[in-house]
A and B are shown apart, each in its own frame.
Chain A
Amino acid sequence: MMGSIDPILLIASLMVASTPILLAAIGELVTEKAGVLNLGVEGMMIVGAIAGFAMAVETGSPLMGFLGAALAGAALSLIFAFLTQVLLSNQVATGLALTLFGIGFSALIGQGYTGVRPPPTPKMDFGPLSDIPVIGPMLLRHDPMVYVSILIIAAVWAFLKFTRAGLVLRAVGESHDAAHALGYKVVRLRVLAIAFGGACAGLGGAYLSLVRVPQWTEGMTAGAGWIALAIVVFASWRPWRVLAGAYLFGGVTVLQLNLQAAGVAIPVQYLSMAPYLITILVLVLISADRRRAAQNAPASLGRVFHASS
């Protein structure tokens, strides 16, 4: 044993490690709530990572970087929206293609940015609050994006639960035909939801390249987008559970690395497997109870909508 793990530092680094997948997952949740399955999260994340990185390096401002990343992610998702909502292509295939395209495209535009250091993202200044024992170093010494990501969760939750627009969005995801018959603009709403998902995925990617690593490397998302997709299922399409799921997935990774660094003998393979096992377990549980499953998964998820049908 070399030492023990400081739980305060552990939770602080867990929050940082989880933020990229948290952002991507909450975006995908909104997309899926509208009845669209976009498997291109990985592609949108990595395009966000390079777009945000390039923007931050060129302007010298991390804020501009995150803005650029959100725009780039949304722009890429609009290609998906055009193909699936206007040309009615298969969502699974189109989403996969979007990931392939994103990985290749980001490598192309990233050529000149390998080895460049981005401008540092400043920490939030909470003044004396940051010095509160335990809570200060654990929760109040992060960069702004950590708090933004939690705010987005809260906003999505409130939007889906309390607003009329949120209700319409859910209606579109549950039964697009019924929503259409009621006069709601199914395609327009879905395009907006897809763009929101893209913007969030872009932010998640930029968080990787600007804060967490921070540098640009080809293929640097290394599967984070797929984990985000798993988290949405794990969370059974509920915003606060997305937060819990992302912190669990991120937390297990950080925890096992910390345990190793601290010299605790644990079989790391089991810890690495844990989140996936839990996801499978959750899937089994929600599908075992049909009534509850119907409540959670949007009924029209992944189905093609055409106004004539």
Chain B
Amino acid sequence: MQRRTLLKSSAAALVAVSLAGPALAQDPLKVGFIYVGPIGDLGWSYQHDQGRLAIEEEFGDKIETVYLESVPEGADAERALTQMAMQGADLIFTTSFGYMDPTINVAAKFPDVKFEHATGYKRADNVATYNARFYEGRAVMGTIAGHMTKSNKIGYIGSFPIPEVIQGINATFIHAQKVNPDVEISVVWAYTWFDPAKEADAAKALIEQGVDVILAHTDSTAPLAEAAKTEGVIGFGQASDMLDFAPSPRVSSIIDDWSPYYIKRVQEALDGTWTSTDTWGGIGEGEVVIGEITDAVPAEVKAEAEALAAAIGDKSYHPFTGPLNKQDGSAWLAEGEVADDGTLAGMNFYVEGIKGDIPQ
């Protein structure tokens, strides 16, 4: 594993440097992006790149963007970031959890460059963090999944056992169980963000176990392609709309829309009002969008899911509202109590009812 990442990383970094946008205009703000997968993944990295295109559209000649795709998480990211900073980037978005320490390290060496790290929790004077409340979308998917499953088994392909993914699993299960008390969830950890063959194999393994609803927290459309092979199995678009698989197996999707955030932050950088902040937007802020629910879902289920999304959006409902117990049966949230962001950001436990352990 290590050897090939090493070889691949030098490869990716060498070939992927790409300049885009008009290069002239007096001293444009140079905005850099580091992606963990290819921008053609039609998922996570694709959506971040859509955000990059949105700021180009918005600011035109006032900015210039650069991006590096398929940068492995870990030590090589540090090299890629250093290179980008040395090439004169003024604001750099690092768009995967595993870039957290490299971002902090490089930011210390370039105090004049502003950094924005997605989904992490370490900040500095020139490092801001931002994330989206994907679990809000998962709550809506969980509701649909609970209604739609006939075998009462739903499957979840996790990437890495990190809080962001565990929130999603818990939110899915809580809401599936709410509408279907018999539901069970099986989790498969793929230990990768992007490996279509492995993601497809994981989906296949779940389907062979009788799962008929597949959720994925990895970056490609492969789980949907696998689900499409078996009649009666449904899934959801993840990170991007993945409409190519509608109306079935893709019955709805969680879309990450980074454009509003990127436009706001670039504007602040241009105005000189940029500061290190921590932003965590959800459905209400427009960062998490529920993709169209197709006709494969009965109308009343669709209405219920949409109502839930609306309630989460206007903050009248929080997906983690008590009473909720942890997996071991100990109390977590009392009746009516709502989870605080600190607990969610460090979530490392399953809620009651989920079987299996989180790998440590």
Residues of A within 8 A of B (CB): 1-3, 6, 9, 13, 17, 20, 42, 96, 99-100, 103-104, 107, 110-111, 114-117, 208, 212-215, 217-224, 226-227, 253-254, 257-258, 260-263, 265, 267-269, 272-273, 276
CA distance A180 to B225 in the complex (A): 51
CB pair B208–A218 under 8 Å, yes or no, is: no
Q: Give Cα A14–Cα B4 distance, bound, in whole angstroms.
A: 22
B11 is an interface residue with CB less than 8 A from chain A: yes
A212 touches B198 (CB 8 A): no
Q: Decide: B221 and A261 in contact? CB cutoff 8 A.
A: no
Known: A222-B194, A257-B190, A257-B205. 20 other contacts (CB 8 A): A2-B184, A3-B209, A13-B204, A17-B201, A110-B40, A116-B244, A117-B228, A212-B200, A217-B196, A217-B220, A218-B39, A219-B38, A222-B192, A227-B4, A254-B201, A258-B205, A260-B186, A261-B211, A263-B186, A268-B191
Q: What are 11 pairs between A and B in contact, CB < 8 Å? A: A2-B153, A3-B209, A13-B201, A96-B11, A103-B12, A115-B221, A208-B196, A219-B194, A253-B201, A258-B208, A262-B186
Contact assessment for B209 and A261 in the assembled complex, using a CB-CB cutoff below 8 Å: yes
A261 close to B197 (CB less than 8 A)? no
Of the candidate stretches B81-89, B328-336, B351-359, the one touching chain A is B351-359
State the 4 A-B residue pairs at the shortest beta-carbon distance, nearest first: A218-B40, A218-B38, A115-B244, A226-B4
| Interface residue? B347 (CB, 8 A) | no
Q: Is the interface of A mostly helix, strand, loop or mixed?
A: helix
Interface digits, B316-360 against A, CB 8 Å rule (1 contact, 0 not)? 000000000000000000000000000000000000000111010
Whether B4 contacts A218 by the Cβ 8 Å rule is no
Question: Which B residues lie at the A interface, using CB under 8 A?
Answer: 1, 3-5, 7-8, 11-12, 14-15, 37-42, 70, 153, 155, 184, 186-192, 194-198, 200-202, 204-206, 208-211, 220-222, 225-226, 228, 244, 355-357, 359
Q: Verify A267–B205 contact, CB threshold 8 A.
A: no
B204 → A minimal CB distance (Å): 6
Give the Cβ gap from B109 to chain A, nearest Cβ, in Å: 28
Q: A115-B221, A219-B70, A272-B1 known; A261 and B41 CB under 8 Å?
A: no
Does B359 contact A268, Cβ atoms closer than 8 Å? Answer: yes
Q: Are B208 and A215 in contact (CB under 8 A)?
A: no
A265 to B15, CA, bound (A): 41
B4 is contacted by which of A1, A220, A223, A265 (Cβ under 8 Å)?
A: A223
Question: Are the C-beta atoms of B4 and A261 separated by less than 8 Å?
Answer: no
Q: Which B residues touch A13, using CB under 8 A? A: 201, 204-205, 208
In the complex formed, the residue of B with least CB distance to A221 is B197
Contact of B15 among A104, A257, A258 (CB under 8 A): A104
